[in-house]
């Protein structure tokens, strides 16, 4: 008998089940982001593991990353999830699929396109020395010169209402500063707070006793374990270089604690190259649309700016990620994705 586990509805009982499955089976560096309040988790006693998804409207289940199951059993779990969706009269769309999962669903007739690329840093080889990092070092130096200090918020501080209020205020100012028409991205990013906060790490920059920026990191399991650079927020009047300052000090701290990798996460619509396409499954129309958003859609999604920030750290690994649709793409599918991510 299949179960739909909801972290929001039963955090104390379901959260350990979900987290244990991610620790055992997750390969995507973004998998932990699936532990958001509005997501659901499909399991079946037939296959250990789970599928993360989010219902949308009356017609869709939007799957997040590939199925988390033991090697060789992902397809079986995927089939059980598809059968459950069919019984519920739901159409499944999958986002942020790794290459292996994308190739597997392509073999069953799904339309599969590259969605973007994620970037990762091997912390054993991370350094800010050398000519290529001069500008980055200068920005960090400027932040320090203006009296900014960086520290990790411990559990006691995270429970402090005054501290939480400062973080909430930064969130509000950050979004307001983006412009009246800009909405905060959903589904493809993590969250701050909630029952999973104890598993994340939060670094803050402070100036004159006031928090001016923060960065949240989520754990990464699988073949390249470490941390995912997730939420980034700053006040409009924060010193230049403050995010670079947090990034550099957090990387050193996480490496010192034994982390092997720093993952920078997915940037949609970038790194779109023919060598990443899955032969026979690619939609030219969708590919062209993604390129147009990358080149001309900064108001919709700042892909170029995000990519520039990530590339300044000279990442060691570039990983394509995919989006998949059963049989063919429908206009309503695109509408669903735009709504569930809050792009529209």
254 SS3 class: helix
255 SS3 class: helix
Cα 11 to Cα 18: distance, rounded to the nearest angstrom:
10
List Cβ neighbours of 16 (8 Å cut-off, separation of 6 or more). Answer: none
Contact 203, 214 (CB under 8 A): yes
List Cβ<8 Å contacts ≥24 apart for 273-279: 273/114, 276/114, 276/117, 276/320, 277/113, 277/114, 278/102, 278/103, 278/106, 278/112, 278/322
CB neighbourhood size of 205 (10 A): 25
Sheet bearing 40-44, strands edge to edge: 3-5, 40-44, 47-56, 60-69, 91-97, 317-325, 111-122, 261-268, 226-234, 210-220, 201-207, 149-152
Contact 232, 243 (CB under 8 A): yes
Global pTM value: 0.90
Contact 96, 297 (CB under 8 A): no
Return the CATH architecture of domain 121-264: 3-Layer(aba) Sandwich (3.40)
Contact 96, 64 (CB under 8 A): yes
**In the numeric block, which tokens belong to residue 204?**
């803050």
Domains of the chain by residue range: 3-119+266-299+319-340, 121-264
Per-residue pLDDT of the chain (344 residues; tens, 9 = 90+): 445 554 433 333 467 788 999 999 999 999 999 988 888 999 999 999 999 999 998 999 999 999 999 989 999 999 999 999 999 999 999 999 999 999 999 999 999 999 999 999 999 999 999 999 999 999 999 999 999 999 999 999 999 999 999 999 999 998 777 655 455 567 788 888 888 899 999 999 999 999 999 999 999 999 999 999 999 999 999 999 999 999 999 999 999 999 999 999 999 888 888 899 998 888 888 888 777 777 766 656 677 888 999 999 999 999 999 999 998 888 888 888 888 877 65
Q: Tell me the fold of 3-119+266-299+319-340.
A: Aminopeptidase (3.40.630)
Q: Phi then psi for 134, rounded to 5 degrees? A: -60, -50
Cα 115 to Cα 282: distance, rounded to the nearest angstrom:
11
Fold agreement (3-119+266-299+319-340, 121-264):
yes
- Ordered DSSP codes for 114-175: EEEEEEEEEGGG----SGGGHHHHHHHHHHHHTT-EEEE--HHHHT-HHHHHHHHHHHHHHH
């Amino acid at each position: 008998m299949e179960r739909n586990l909801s972290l929001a509805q039963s955090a104390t009982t379901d959260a350990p089940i979900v987290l244990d499955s991610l620790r055992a089976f997750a390969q995507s560096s973004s998998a932990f982001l699936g532990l958001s309040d509005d997501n659901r988790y499909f399991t079946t006693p037939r296959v250990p593991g789970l599928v993360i998804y989010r219902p949308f409207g009356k017609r869709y289940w939007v799957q997040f990353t590939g199925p988390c199951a033991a090697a060789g059993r992902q397809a079986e779990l995927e089939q059980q999830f598809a059968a459950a969706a069919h019984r519920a009269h739901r159409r499944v769309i999958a986002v942020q699929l790794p290459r292996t999962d994308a190739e597997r669903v392509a073999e069953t007739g799904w339309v599969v396109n590259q969605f973007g690329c994620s970037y990762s840093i091997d912390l054993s080889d991370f350094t800010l020395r050398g000519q290529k990092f001069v500008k980055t070092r200068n920005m960090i130096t400027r932040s320090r010169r203006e009296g900014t200090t960086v520290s990790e918020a411990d559990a006691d501080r995270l429970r402090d209402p005054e501290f939480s209020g400062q973080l909430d205020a930064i969130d509000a100012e950050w979004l307001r500063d983006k412009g009246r028409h800009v909405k905060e991205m959903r589904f493809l990013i993590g969250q701050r707070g909630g029952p999973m906060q104890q598993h994340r790490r939060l670094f803050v920059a402070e100036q004159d006793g006031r928090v001016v920026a923060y960065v949240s990191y989520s754990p990464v399991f699988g073949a390249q374990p470490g941390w995912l650079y997730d939420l980034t927020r700053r006040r409009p009047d924060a010193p230049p270089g403050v995010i670079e300052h947090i990034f550099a000090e957090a990387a050193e701290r996480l490496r010192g604690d034994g982390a092997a990798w720093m993952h920078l996460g997915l940037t949609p619509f970038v790194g779109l190259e023919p060598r990443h396409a899955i032969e026979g499954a690619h939609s030219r129309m969708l590919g062209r649309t993604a390129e147009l958003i990358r080149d001309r859609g900064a108001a919709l999604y700042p892909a170029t700016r995000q990519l520039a920030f990530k590339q300044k750290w000279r990442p060691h690994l570039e990983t394509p990620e995919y989006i998949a649709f059963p049989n063919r793409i429908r206009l309503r599918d695109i509408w669903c994705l735009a709504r569930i991510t809050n792009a529209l």
